[in-house]
Structure 1
Amino acid sequence: MLVIEDRALRERISPVAYDQPQITQSSHLLVFAAWDPVEEAHVDDLIRLTAETRGLHPDDLAAYGSTIKGAVGGFASAHEKFQWAAKQAYLALGTALAAAAAERVDASPMEGFDPAGLDDLLGLREQNLRSVVLMALGYRDNEADRHAGLEKVRWPREKLFIHLPPA
């Protein structure tokens, strides 16, 4: 996750995010990125960190590490492996959205951007990363936001939730 507070950098990002106002009006822009390629060394790092955090020997987690390596290595292509990593970034996005709500900070998740353009701008490829999703953070300006007082539009529960087995 990249945390971008610098207004000048957010202004440079704005064109690759289709000039959406949240990019420059927010106080912070988070860029959720995924490794590309995903490598066994990433799993090894996770196992070492887990062992260190929990006071274990890395050998105690060998089966766990092998399971993860088997799952990651089981994808048919590098593209499928990246798609798995991107889904992990979305899990982090969900946690970040919940944390922002708990802190009463407005958050706007955003897919409306050119990932390749953003990757070039931020030099992500050189770090073996690719951008997946953005999240703008800040506090809304109720006086300037013409949408602030409007009713939220949500699908009705009957359409959104499917109960199995049907009642």
Structure 2
Amino acid sequence: MDRRVLKTKQALRVALFQLLDTKTMTTITVTELCRAAHIDRRTFYIHYDNITQIFEDYELELSQQVRQALTGSFHNPTILLHTFDHILMANYVGLRLLCLNTTHLVLIDKLKTMLFNTMCAALTPPPTPRQVIIIRHICAGLMDTYVYWFKNPDLLTYEQLNQINHEVLQSHLALL
């Protein structure tokens, strides 16, 4: 992809997450998003039809990162957590804003669903109903621990959170 396109899309994503700090996705206008991203509306409409497509791009990118990282290492909790840690740190500001603002719970649910679908797709053969429930529990649990940690940062360190998640994930993966 052209560097200019990447730069424009990144500017729009950063601006979107900045605006999500104080507004909901449905109340953000294209004009204010473009103003915050320092681009014009015409440029916006070259790349997107609406604002939600920016978040959909973000979801797709996260999904690709997770899918790529899970290839061949699905049952290894260390690699799985390292993957989540890498994705979290690469998208820290955006995820933090989503987690701290209760009006964005729908977006968090979309990320949980994306993670769930990606993990199910990584299993071969396709998961059994039992495995589906376990994977759903893993995805919801991991996302919820990050949400809780963002809302209560003084409760424990990020390293402690990762250690606890590792232990819980290890026990859940053993059930698969």
TM-score norm. by structure 1 comes to: 0.28
Higher relative contact order (CA 8 A, sep 6+): 1
- The structure carrying a bigger strand percent of its residues is 1
TM-score w.r.t. the length of structure 2 is: 0.27
| Larger Rg belongs to | 1
User: Counting helix residues as a fraction of each chain, which structure ranks higher?
Assistant: 2
